[in-house]
Amino acid sequence: MDAYPDAKIIMTSRDEQKWFDSMKLTIWHSTHASPLRDMIYQHVWGGDPDQFGITRFREHNDNVRELAKRKGRTVLEYEVKHGWEPLCEFLGKEIPHSEFPRADDWAGYKAEVLAGMAAKDGENA
C-alpha cells in the first residue's frame, strides 16, 4: 500500500474451509519435501498449518482491512464467483462481453495428490 498509494486494493477471498482444503492439496503438500518446509511452517503457519491455517487466513484478511482503513483506502473484497460486475465497477471499467474466466490451474495437481492419498489409504487398509 505504501509502494503504490494510488493503486486500487483488491483482496480476493473465498470460503475459508474451501481455501483450507485447497491449501492442503497444493501449497502445503508441495512443500512437504522442501528443505525450507519447517521454516515456512513455523514463520507462516505458527508451526502447524492444520491447527492455525484458517486462523492465519482470517488474520491476514483482517490485517489488510485494518491497514487500508488506517490509510484511508478502500478495499474491494472480491470473490471470483461474483464475476466481472463488482470488479469492473470498483475499477471504473466497462464489463467485458466475454465470459468471466474460471479455471483452477492447480486442478491437475490436486487430482494427483488425491489419487496418491487414495492409493496410500488402500495400502494401509
Where along the chain do its domains lie? 9-124
- CATH 3.30.530.20 correct for 9-124: no
pLDDT exceeds cutoff 90 at 53: no
pLDDT at 101: 85
- Give the tens place of pLDDT for each residue, 74-118: 999 999 989 999 999 999 999 999 999 877 666 676 677 677 767
CA quadruple 103, 6, 58, 76: dihedral sign: negative
- Compute the distance between CA of residue 25 and CA of residue 4 in angstroms, rounded to an integer: 33
**What is the value of pTM for the model shown?**
0.70
* 17 has a pLDDT exceeding 70: yes
Chain mean pLDDT for the chain: 84
Closest CA to 78 of 13, 5, 28: 13
- The three grid cell numbers given for residue 24, joined into one nine-digit string: 492442503
